[in-house]
Structure formats: structure tokens, C-alpha cells
Amino acid sequence: MRRRRLSSTSLIRSYNATSILRTLHAKGACTRAELARATGISPATVSRIVNQLAEAGLIQVKALAASSGGRRPALLEIDQTKLHVVGVELRRDQVAMILVNLRGEAIRRAAYPPGTLQPEALVTHLAQRIHRLIEEAAVDRGSLLGVGLAVAGVVNRAEGRVVRSVNLGWAQVPLAAQLEERLELPVLVENDANAAALSEVWFGQRHPPANLIFLKTEAGVGAGIVLEHQLFNGPRGMAGEIGHIPLIPDGHPCRCGQRGCLETYVNVRDVLKRYTELTGREADQETFFRRAAKGEPAARALVEEARQALTLASAHVALLLDVEAIFIGGVWGAFSPAFVQEVEAGVQRVIDQTGLEKSVRVHGASLGADADLMGATGLVIDSWLTPHAPDRSELVRESW
């Protein structure tokens, strides 16, 4: 029988080593004895695995801990620059990918137009591009925890299946399974708004709020919901689909057939169309927002409408779910600090009127245009660090 090489791949996929790495990630530096207590793994096994992890360069001795007498025990620390994750943002006009270390530092990026949207062909090409990204990044394949994908649409996360994506024209595509077969790496798939919410959990503020909403705007509108640090997908993966709740009575007609939906007020294409109807002038996104910033009345009026719709939607979700913060993604979150502050003030006015004594902060997305992409990497880190979350990463764990 071929002797099993103790590659870092098998190491980071083994249950005990993963438990130790997770504990080090969560607690920071620990001694071997603390690791044994926290993981329930025997001290002898902890020592053996720690030595293997140190040999693989995944953990390092930070310092020697204080001792009550005798030899001072070594304080161990995970080397966050030695583990890597790939994130992919899949859209009909662009595929973007990034390879980062556990700190979220980009090692390599790539972006290209997908060409075909036919699932099999797209997945085959995607796998080749991911292989190339890994090669160009020159990282050890064994240091990769997995690949996360953010897709616009309804996703069955447990099965890694895109249930329906209007953006890609897909229905029932087993994306994770098809990619795993080609990459031989764990693959996780998530709705783009949910992924973007994870970008705030893993790479946003220094102390991210435990309960937050990420409002995805610009094209498709949706909300990623994080409650007690965990993504809330809903039992059918459809939580946060708030784009077509009619908000404004007798508001603008929406493509869904209703009036006054949030989506028609913040979808930039709809806003630009309305701008042309109002003024008889064409404007692209950049021109429109420049004119709005300069105070041009028609552009200002449309920005004001979007602000009102965003404020109402934010107030609804903030009251419904008692979150501490709302992050506005896309062009509206990036437009101007004053715009975001006005949404925040509007949300707070509603909350104050209800008599509830609490405050809700509203921010632009911390990672700007990278929210979905970094959220896709956060998806892998999140599942790796949350061993009991029911997702596909459980399937690839093995003991040795």
C-alpha cells in the first residue's frame, strides 16, 4: 500500500488538526495544555498534531507562557498567512476571483467576461481559471481551505445547488458538486447578498456587530442577514428576498408587475431610465451620480426617492430583526457619506417614534465593490470555523 504522505491538505482536512486550528483561530495564542482542554483531544495527540502543523508551517511558537514552576510551556499561534481561500463572484457580465490568506490579504486576483453562461461549459472554464489563479499565486495547494462562490439567485447552500438565478438564466445547477469534481477542493456556494453579509463578519469593522443586515443594491436587491454572528438563510434559502416588497404606495411601476418596490427605486438601470424620461438626456451611472452630487434637480430628486425607499426598507428590517447595524452595498452605499448618514437619521427617527430605546447604525459596505468577492472567501472561512454548521464542508472531513 502506498504510504500516505502527510500533506498539509490531509492535515487541514483532518478532524483533530482542524479542531486545533479552529481553537487557535478563535482564542489566539494557546499552550498545548490549553488546546487539549479546549478541544477534548488527549494531550499526547495534541502534541503529535501540533508538531505536524508546525512542520507544515501552519502554526508557530509565539512565545513561552508564564509558568508556575518548571519548564515554561510554549505559546502556539496559527500562521494566518499560510492558509488560503479562493473566492469567486459569478455574474452574467463578469467572473471575478481572488485568492486570499486567512487575514483576507489578496495574493492574486483575476476577472474575465464569462463568454458562455451554459452551466457545464462555464463550470469547466471556471475550474481552469481557478487552477490558473492558484498556480499564479504560487501557494501550496495543500494550504487551500476551499473555494467559495457568490451567485445572484436562490441557492441551496447545503447541497451547493443554484436553485434559480435569473441573472445567469440557471435553474437547479449543482454548482458545488461540479466544481468539486474538477478542483478536488471543498466548494461552497451562497447567494450574493448573504456572501456580502459575511464580508462584514470576517473582513469588515474591527469588532463587527453580532447582528447585522447587508442590503445589496444596484442591480438585484436582497438582504443578507447575520444573527448572533451566523448567517440566516431561511429554511428554503430565501430569507432576505425583500427586493419586491411594495414599499411606496402608488409608487413607480416595477418589472415584477407591482408598484413601489424597493428594487425599482435603487436598481441603477431603472433610475437612469427615469432620469432620461424626466430630462430627455441620457446619462451613464457615473455621469448621473456626478450630476446628483452637483445638485442637478432631476438627479437629486431620483436620489432622494432612492434614499426614502432605502430608509423605509432599512427601518423595517431593523425593527423586525433587532439588528445593531445595516450595511448598504453597491453604488448607493458608496455614493456619499451624507447619503448614508441621512438614511441612518431616517431609520433612527422611525425607531424613536416607536418608543424603542435603541440605536441602529447605517454604514456603506466596508469592502465597497469587493463585498461579494470577499464574502465568498468568508463563506469558506466561516464554514471551516463553524464545525457544526450543516454545510458541505462537513462531507469532506476525514479522520486519520
- Is residue 90 exposed (0-12), middle (13-18) or buried (19+ Cβ within 10 Å)? buried
Cα–Cα distance measured from residue 170 to residue 149, given in angstroms and rounded to the nearest whole number: 15
CB 179 to Zn ion: min, Å:
32
Phi then psi for residue 223, to 5 deg, are -120, 130
In the complex with Zn ion, the residue whose CB is nearer, 261 or 283, is 261
In the complex with Zn ion, the residue whose CB is nearer, 219 or 254, is 254
Cα–Cα distance measured from residue 229 to residue 323, given in angstroms and rounded to the nearest whole number: 11
SS3 for 388? coil
The three grid cell numbers given for residue 119, joined into one nine-digit string? 452551466
CB 152 to Zn ion: min, Å:
16
In the complex with Zn ion, the residue whose CB is nearer, 124 or 258, is 258
Q: How many residues bind Zn ion (CB under 5 A)?
A: 5
CB 236 to Zn ion: min, Å:
20
Q: Which of residues 207-246 bind Zn ion (CB under 5 A)?
A: 244
Q: Which of residues 18-57 bind Zn ion (CB under 5 A)?
A: none
CB 256 to Zn ion: min, Å:
3
In the complex with Zn ion, the residue whose CB is nearer, 220 or 378, is 220
CB 308 to Zn ion: min, Å:
16
CB 263 to Zn ion: min, Å:
5
Looking at residue 158, the DSSP 8-state letter turns out to be: T
Cα–Cα distance measured from residue 384 to residue 371, given in angstroms and rounded to the nearest whole number: 20
CB 93 to Zn ion: min, Å:
22
In the complex with Zn ion, the residue whose CB is nearer, 80 or 258, is 258
Q: Is 116:94 a contact under the CB 8 Å cutoff?
A: no
Q: Which of residues 240-259 bind Zn ion (CB under 5 A)?
A: 244, 254, 256, 258
In sequence order, the β-bridge partners of residue 101 are 84
In the complex with Zn ion, the residue whose CB is nearer, 261 or 313, is 261
In the complex with Zn ion, the residue whose CB is nearer, 154 or 185, is 154
CB 298 to Zn ion: min, Å:
23
CB 261 to Zn ion: min, Å:
3
CA distances from 314 to 23, 155, 213, 360, 372 (A): 36, 23, 9, 10, 20
Binding mask of the shown chain, residues 260 to 299, with x at each position contacting Zn ion by CB under 5 A: -x--------------------------------------
The three grid cell numbers given for residue 318, joined into one nine-digit string? 431593523
Q: Which amino acid makes up residue 248?
A: I
The three grid cell numbers given for residue 173, joined into one nine-digit string? 445547477
In the complex with Zn ion, the residue whose CB is nearer, 129 or 244, is 244
CA distances from 234 to 36, 83, 180, 350, 389 (A): 36, 30, 25, 26, 14
C-alpha gyration radius of the chain:
23
In the complex with Zn ion, the residue whose CB is nearer, 60 or 258, is 258
CB 252 to Zn ion: min, Å:
10
- Concatenating the DSSP letter of every residue in 113-156 gives --S---HHHHHHHHHHHHHHHHHHHT--GGGEEEEEEEESSEEE
CA distances from 363 to 61, 208, 340 (A): 38, 12, 6
Q: Is 372:89 a contact under the CB 8 Å cutoff?
A: yes
In the complex with Zn ion, the residue whose CB is nearer, 258 or 386, is 258
The three grid cell numbers given for residue 193, joined into one nine-digit string? 447578498
* Chain residues that interact with Zn ion, rule: CB under 5 A: 244, 254, 256, 258, 261
